[in-house]
Homo-oligomer: A and B are copies of this chain.
Amino acid sequence: MQPPRGTRDFGPNEMAQRRRLEALWRDEFRRYNYREIQTPTFEEIELFLAKSGPGIRDEIYDFKDKSGRELALRPELTAPSMRFYFADLKMEPKPLRLFYFGPCYRYDRPQAGRYREFWQMGCELIGDNSPEAHAELLFLALRLFEKADLKDVKLRVGHLGFLRGWLKRLGYATSAEQSPLMRLIDKKELEKLKAALEPVARSKPDDVRNFFELFTIESFEQIKLLAGDAESQGAIAHLVRVRDVLASFGADLSKVRLDPTIARGLEYYTGLVFELDAPQLGAEKQLLGGGAYDLSAVFGQPPVDAVGFAAGFDRTLIALEKHGHPMAGSDALDVIVAPIDPAAQVAAVRAASLLRAAGRSVELEPRPVAVRKVLARATGLKARVAVFLGSKELERGVYAVKDLASGAQTEVSEAALADEIRRLVGH
């Protein structure tokens, strides 16, 4: 009777929190003119193989449908979004801003903060790779967590130009040679990286030493240390401009660090890369990741500039919980309406209908019931107000209204009922 391993059921309280964060984030994307799209939960597996290589097969839910189609539950939403873009949206005026929200899947050992079914909200900005556009995107990334009231986050910003330049200097010229090293860099496995670079260290000890200096850089003030070939110079100019525009947006730069060692383990990134962490979360601290990329080759299309990020919805909720201020999202009930006499049943239905028309959440007791039972039910439902109606009230054309917080009870006419409830509920 449990959900499949690594997946979860969400109860009313959790769903209220999740829908609240979803709404906050959706509203924030809207303010930056991102428009929502939705793609299927599964795709032809070829899409993910073409993007991430055959190794991805071990990490995803893949299956054949009854006609032999090879499908996969999506592990992420950038490849499906770009598939949709190339299929249907490429004639839209650029820049084009898209966002998405939905579940993704990975076949992986479940652990704290790491589920087999997890939700991502993210965006893609297509057709503008300027530092100004990148700065706005980074500002939006920071805003999402400000909006969620998650204060303790760090945004690390880097550029693949530095790593690529250094790896070339160390003799790794092709992307095939660079890949295994990029993976070690991405996971910050410095010991393994040292071992892998040992042969090079014998012939170029200074270069290797300087290369490892990259991992000590933390602040934008150190950016000039990265100067090297033309690619590095371009990357420095880009990041400095990004930082300046970010400042003009009013970003809190104390949350923004320079990190030239972000590799993101992915070969289609083209320049800017960034990750946002909630340091208290330990091993699963990353809440968001993204960068500038070009997936056009996957679809056999001419190059297209794109930049985007995906934010981890589940981890953000966990981080808020760990900070001791979980997302607010009450599922409390406004009103319970109860006839306490058979003669009052129709009038009770009328009161419930009228309060529902006024936007209230209302539980209507379907049959006459004792006051004591209504109050017990009201407590179980966390109801704010109880409205009773017996033959006494019916005769005088009023409803008994009990504020369940204070215990105070008054009598109210039908015409005044909705206003009285609004007053008691407070909105």
Q: Which residue numbers of A lie inside 8 Å of B, CB to CB? A: 1-5, 7-12, 15-16, 18-19, 26-27, 30-33, 35-44, 58, 61, 63-66, 69, 71, 73, 83-84, 86-89, 92-93, 97-98, 103, 105, 107, 117, 128, 130, 132-133, 135-136, 245, 248-250, 299, 331, 333, 345-346, 349, 353, 356, 359-364, 366-367, 377, 380-381
Contacts and interface: CB of A to CB of B under 8 A. Distances in A.
Contacts of A44: 4
A381 B3 contact: no
Copies of this subunit: 2
A361 B31 contact: yes
A249 B38 contact: no
Given A15-B35, A93-B377, A380-B93, A107 B353 contact: no
Given A30-B361, A136-B366, A249-B353, A40 B380 contact: no
Given A2-B87, A93-B377, A353-B249, A9 B40 contact: yes
B32 A362 contact: yes
Contact of A40 (B8, B83, B135, B349): B8
Q: Interface majority SS on A: helix, strand, loop or mixed?
A: mixed
B63 A133 contact: no
Contacts of A15: 35-38
B36 A107 contact: no
Contacts of A58: 66
A12 B42 contact: no
A356 B32 contact: yes
A80 B349 CA distance: 32
Nearest to A333: B33
